[in-house]
């Protein structure tokens, strides 16, 4: 009997075969795995945060100029012309400053790439690597546009109101709401407390407009 068992080994059970062999759907799932591509949004967030800061600068500087001139000249035309002048001057200043800053960074990075090529003997395409660097013209245009968008808010608020006191109140109210929005967006991008950051921006804006209004009123009252 023992000899018979040795010559006729027991065949594996069918259930055991099923456990050993992989199923077809498992093989297909493994062979058709979807590769997830992780996108880097850090640069996009930096650009967006710079745009928010530029719009905030345009909003606050233009509104402060309009409030300062409005302290001594109550007619709507003078106030609006002052805002337009502030918009144009500020947008040009932002664009030129951003262009010079980004171009300086561009020159430094290009020089570094050339030094690395000479040190390593790598003759890779320098022009292709330059295309990955920040574009000074794009940065200048984006900065000017963001500043202009912010500066439009107090201009629109004052454009259709003839009464002086109502116009001042409306400008302050519109600027405060816009500051709240810009502060909230900046806080989200910087992962900071939204309420605290928004209130900080609004209080800072009130101080800027109030100081400009008060000092201009004081200087104008001296007869200079």
Q: Flag whether 99 is in a domain.
A: yes
Inside any domain, residue 49:
no
Residue 114 is predicted with a pLDDT of 83
Does a structural domain hold residue 21? no
- Tally of structural domains, the chain: 1
Structure-model confidence comparison of residues 35 and 44, the more confident one: 44
Is residue 162 in some structural domain? yes
Whether residue 151 has pLDDT greater than 60: yes
Q: Is residue 23 part of a domain?
A: no
In this structure, is residue 59 part of a structural domain? no
- pTM summary value: 0.72
Structural domain for 154, as ranges? 75-211
Q: SS3 letters for the chain?
A: CHHHHHHCCCCCCHHHHHHHCCCHHHHHHHHCCCCCCCCCCHHHHHHHHHHHHHHHHHHHHHHHHHHHHHCCCCCHHHHHHHHHHHHHHHHHHHHHHHHHHHHHHHHHHHHHHHHHHHHHCCCCCHHHHHCCCCCHHHHHHHHHHHHHHHHHHHHHHHHCCCCHHHHHHHHHHHHHHHHHHHHHHHHHHHCCCHHHHHHHHHHHHHHHHHHHHHHHHHHHHCCC
- Assess if residue 37 is contained within a domain: no
126 confidence band (pLDDT: 50, 70, 90):
confident
* Position 123 confidence tier, pLDDT thresholds 50, 70, 90: low
In a domain, 182, yes or no: yes
């Amino acid at each position: 009997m023992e000899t018979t068992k040795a010559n006729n080994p027991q065949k594996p059970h069918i259930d055991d075969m099923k456990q050993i062999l992989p199923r077809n759907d498992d093989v297909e799932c493994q062979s058709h795995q979807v590769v997830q591509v992780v996108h880097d949004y850090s640069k996009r967030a930096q650009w967006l945060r710079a745009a928010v800061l530029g719009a905030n600068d345009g909003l606050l500087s233009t509104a402060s100029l309009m409030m300062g001139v409005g302290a001594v000249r109550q007619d709507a035309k003078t106030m609006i012309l002052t805002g337009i002048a502030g918009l144009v001057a500020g947008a040009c200043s932002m664009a030129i400053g951003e262009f010079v800053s980004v171009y300086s960074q561009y020159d430094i990075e290009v020089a570094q790439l050339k030094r690395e090529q000479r040190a390593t003997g790598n003759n890779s395409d320098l022009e292709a690597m330059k295309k990955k660097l920040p574009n000074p013209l794009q940065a200048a245009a984006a900065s000017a546009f963001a500043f202009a968008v912010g500066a439009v808010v107090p201009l629109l608020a004052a454009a259709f109101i003839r009464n002086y006191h109502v116009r001042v109140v409306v400008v302050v109210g519109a600027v405060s709401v816009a500051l709240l929005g810009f502060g909230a967006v900046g806080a989200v991008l910087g992962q900071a407390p939204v309420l605290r950051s928004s209130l900080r921006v609004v209080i800072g804006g009130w101080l800027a407009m109030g100081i400009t209004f008060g000092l201009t009123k004081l200087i104008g009252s001296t007869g200079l």
